[in-house]
Amino acid sequence: MPVPCRAGCGKNAMLKRPKTGDALCKECFFWAFETEIHFTITKGKLFKKGDSVAVAASGGKDSTVLAHVLKTLNERYNYGLNLMLLSIDEGITGYRDDSLETVKQNRDDYEMSLKILSYKELYGWTMDEIVAQIGRKNNCTFCGVFRRQALDRGAAMLNVKCIATGHNADDIAETVLMNVLRGDIARLKRCTAISTGSEGTIPRVKPLKYTYEKEIVMYAHYKRLVYFSTECVFAPNAYRGHARALLKDMEKIRPTCIMDIIYSGETMEVKEAVSLPSQRVCIRCNFVSSQEVCKACVLLEGLNKGLPKLGIGKSSKAKRMLEEYNAKQNKSLEEAINNINEEYEKNNCISKGKVCRSSCKSKQTAQINKTHKTTSETCCNGQSDEKLNTDNDITNSKVKVLLKEYGLSEATQDDSSNLISEKIDHSNTEKVANATNDDDFEVDSHNTDEQIVDEDDTCGGACGKIDSLHISF
Amino acid sequence: TMEPLKVHIQFGGGAELLFDKIKRREVELPALKKYYPDCKHEKWLIKDLLVWIKDNLLKERPELFLQGDSVRPGILVLINDADWELYGELDYELQQNDTIMFISTLHGG
């Protein structure tokens, strides 16, 4: 009792499309699937001819299909895009190391260059090490926040015009639902945007925004695309898992609900009276943030200070914790600053703490870790470990040279922590420059990512896909 | 009919993780009446196969594969490489040498 293809091609249908209910054969499905993505791209004006585009690649189904389809459409419709793969290695043994092998397969299959950037080199911590510190409860927070920034850094290194991510229709509907369930109006407004990125940031685009997960999996299956589907070894986010399960249940009954939820999210209007957090710049790392200090810096500071819970939960809570911490530390601040110069004379390259221990042999890595440490230590105005202060000045002078070289002016701060803030900017700049050995990337240290603080409890890629969490088996 | 029914069962997209990471299996189903004496119908349907899988292949956490009398939403079922939604889903009658594939969409991508 085969069903004929709805397109009238004479072949037997192989699947029922959830979006339209049409029964199509493989070939007509491929055509419909790819053409819809092409329309999404052209209607949303996601790319310009000649653009370099980084495909955020996790090795999972969505990014694998995205890379494949973008390559196909680029050739078919002559987009003139220079496509490349960008992967983040969170440092999750038994998970990401395996999935990166899949990404390498994508690189070979699709003949695209591949850049892999690790948390270890950017932040001084692998996810394995972070989980060892904080346990498995909130690790997705760290992973998600760090990944967003890592992707931006990687994209800046690659000097691309935008980052294409594999978010599919189900993911976006799920995020709309989550934001409604949390009453998170600011994110609700943003989460359906097909292209995000405020001024100065590298835009993120979602070519699969209207593409159903079922179709992505069927496409990958029929095209025999190789993808990685092992679950992240760390615990997923239960709340999102419930939202996802609810959505899947509803989709079963009425598949168009996915498109309808996205439509609702897109057209919902926010009352003028609702106050939305204004975007500003993190005083530490200069990335866009809705808070004084961005989430990534707060989390990193927590890790480096042994207060790993610092960035977990509401930002107001983190602020309170920081204030308490600062209050304690302020007494010793002046003393600590005085020590900086003295200590600097004595210690030129001290590696210390967890992050530096293993990598000090490599000067480059050591510097990254060191400056990282510096960033977090100085930014809270607290000097828990005076030895650390010595790094500030090393960094500071080096960075001054760098800043001159790149023609960047020093950031000015008008608050009392002037000295500290300056150092922060510098150390961050140096960190970036060191991490990349790429002059162009310098720009990125003043770049921003509005999403850094956007999603504080969403697993980004550890659960398999960039920026979205999937319920696990 | 009392002769055993041979079917190929395949798991993909992460669903194999629930089945000892084995992606392909060949199974012989006994006569339905032998296996389920109280069964009202004569031939194996997919819904019977799901129960058989639960009893014979799925050792732990069946809720990650099954929900109610069907598969958990988000797990695709392919009958000889075609979407089961075109073939009556749970009420599809298994044929000799059919390939039934279960692909999870729930795993990370």
Which one of B17, B72, B103 has the shortest CB-CB distance to A230? B17
Enumerate the β-bridge partners of residue A288: A281
Residue pLDDT, tens place only, A156-191: 999 999 999 999 999 999 999 999 998 888 888 888
Residue pLDDT, tens place only, A36-55: 999 999 999 999 999 999 99
A314 DSSP 8-state letter: -
Residue of B nearest to A473 (CA): B64
Q: Residue written as tokens 């594939």?
A: B101
Q: Three-state DSSP class for A54? A: strand
* Any B CB within 8 A of A164 CB: no
This complex has an ipTM of 0.95
Residue pLDDT, tens place only, A356-379: 333 344 444 444 444 444 444 444
Question: Hey, where are the domains in chain B?
Answer: 5-104
Parallel, antiparallel, or unpaired for β A204-205 and A15-16?
Answer: unpaired
Check residue A85 and give left, alpha or beta (phi > 0: left; psi -120 to 50: alpha): beta
Helical axes A213-222 vs A61-76, angle rounded to 10°? 70
A362 Cβ neighbours under 8 A, 6+ residues apart: none
- Per-residue confidence band for A399, with pLDDT thresholds at 50, 70 and 90: low
Which one of A16, A60, A248 has the shortest CB-CB distance to B83? A16
Angle (CA) A342-A344-A347 rounded to 5° is: 115
* Contacts with A16 from chain B: Cβ below 8 Å: 83, 85-86
A63 Cβ neighbours under 8 A, 6+ residues apart: A55, A56, A57, A106, A165, A166, A465, A466, B109
Length of chain B: 109
Q: Of A150-159, A235-244, A282-291, A422-431, where does the model show the most confidence?
A: A150-159
- Per-residue confidence band for A196, with pLDDT thresholds at 50, 70 and 90: confident
What domains sit in chain A, N to C, each tagged with a CATH number?
Answer: 15-267 (3.40.50.620), 280-446 (no CATH)
Instruction: Mark yes or no for CB contact B106/A62 under 8 Å.
Output: no
- CATH code that applies to domain B5-104: 3.10.20.30
Q: Of A238-242, A273-277, A427-431, B28-32, where does the model show the most confidence?
A: B28-32
| pLDDT (0 to 100) of residue A274 | 66
* Contacts with A222 from chain B: Cβ below 8 Å: 81
Higher pLDDT, A147 or A265: A265
One-character DSSP codes across A81-123: -EEEEEEEE---TTTHHHHHHHHHHHHHHHT-EEEEEEHHHHH
Q: What is the mean pLDDT of chain A?
A: 74
